Amino acid sequence: MLGYDFMRHAFVGCFFVSLLAGTLGWFMILRHQIFAAHALPHIGFSGAAAAIWLKLSPFTGMIVSSLAAGLFMVTDDRKKSHLSLPIQREMMTGLVLAASLGIGVFCLFEANSASNQATNLLFGDVLGLSFGTLLVLACVTVFCLTMLVLLGRPLLFSTLAPELAEAQGVRLSVISYGFMAMVALASAACSEVAGALLSFSLMIGPAAAALRLGLTPVKGLTFSVLGALALSWGALICSWYTDFPVAFLIGIGAVGLYITAGWLRNLGQP
């Protein structure tokens, strides 16, 4: 299995993506931004479709569109009270999502693109990762994790106690923009592996399982990263032996992980 370049690339790509998905997904759930985690890869799909039409790399289109949409979604954060913020964000996310899907369909129509290109965007093409794409994934991973290391404490503080954090001088808008930029980049990276439709599984599945187990932040983040790694590498190995699509295996595995976490939690309770 590891004698082939495309399989080695796939394992390395999944490693980078798991680091991103596991850490950022955990914060996204805590910050009530699950809908954004669902929407951003779809928006990335539209960007990729536009890139195909403009004869650019689909991955570049994915990164640019996810980043623009992510930053747009938090534009209004500063003006809203903490109570109305989640509702405002969901409305904004829904509107951006619907508009971008429409643009994506239009771009594919104008590009007169072959349907397999659209399928790759929607369901991922982990076995087709080039060395160049791996380099971009590595850069995105290093950038996002460095940002996360720098922002770690104020990000967690403002996530758990936003009003207290603001009162003590944490600039919530800087944290929101910085975090959303990381998430947008991460979701574009996840889409390369699991596709626009299923990258949600990789970002939210392991993180949701970690939170269901009631783990502390350090343990939860570690569990989430290892869970994402187990899911993506496990899916690659299963796919090698069964020929099932990787994205399908990741999607099913994420649900399985979440159910298992609930079962384990029930076992641990008196």
Partner 1 sequence: MRPISLLIDHATLSVGRTVILQDDTQSIPLEGLMILRGRNGAGKTTFLKTLLGLVKCEAGSVSLCFVPSSKEKPVLGYMPQKIGQAALMLPVISHVMASVDGTRWGLFFKRSRQKQVMELLEQTGVSALARRPLGVLSGGERQRVALAQALAAKPDVLILDEPLAALDQQARYESLALFRDLRNRLGLKFIMTSHETLSLQDFSLPVQEVKLEKGRLHVGI
Number of shown-chain residues binding partner 1 (CB under 8 A) = 32
- Beta carbons of 20 and 179 less than 8 angstroms apart: no
If the CB atoms of residues 49 and 155 are measured against partner 1, the closer one turns out to be 155
CA 153/CA 159 separation, integer angstroms: 10
- Beta carbons of 159 and 27 less than 8 angstroms apart: yes
If the CB atoms of residues 30 and 238 are measured against partner 1, the closer one turns out to be 30
Which string of x and - marks every residue 125-164 that binds partner 1 (by CB under 8 A)? ------------------------xxxxxx-xxxxxxxxx
CB of 210 to partner 1, least distance (A): 9
- Which range, of 38-46, 129-137, 208-216, 233-241, touches partner 1 by CB under 8 A? 208-216
Q: How many CA atoms lie within 13 A of 216 on its CB side?
A: 2
- Beta carbons of 62 and 51 less than 8 angstroms apart: yes
CA 62/CA 256 separation, integer angstroms: 29
CB of 84 to partner 1, least distance (A): 12
Q: Which of 82, 119, 132, 264 binds partner 1 (CB under 8 A)?
A: 82
If the CB atoms of residues 217 and 245 are measured against partner 1, the closer one turns out to be 217
CB of 258 to partner 1, least distance (A): 13
If the CB atoms of residues 23 and 133 are measured against partner 1, the closer one turns out to be 23
- The reply to whether 78 sits near partner 1 by the rule CB under 8 A is no
Q: Which of 212, 223, 235, 236 binds partner 1 (CB under 8 A)?
A: 212
- Of 2, 1, 11, 9, nearest to 233 by C-alpha is 11
If the CB atoms of residues 1 and 161 are measured against partner 1, the closer one turns out to be 161
Single-letter amino acid, residue 122: L
Reduced DSSP (H G I as helix, E B as strand, rest coil) percent helix, strand, coil of the chain, to 5: 85, 0, 15
- Of 157, 152, 261, nearest to 208 by C-alpha is 261
CA 184/CA 251 separation, integer angstroms: 20
Chain residues that interact with partner 1, rule: CB under 8 A = 30, 32, 82-83, 149-154, 156-170, 211-212, 214, 216-218, 220
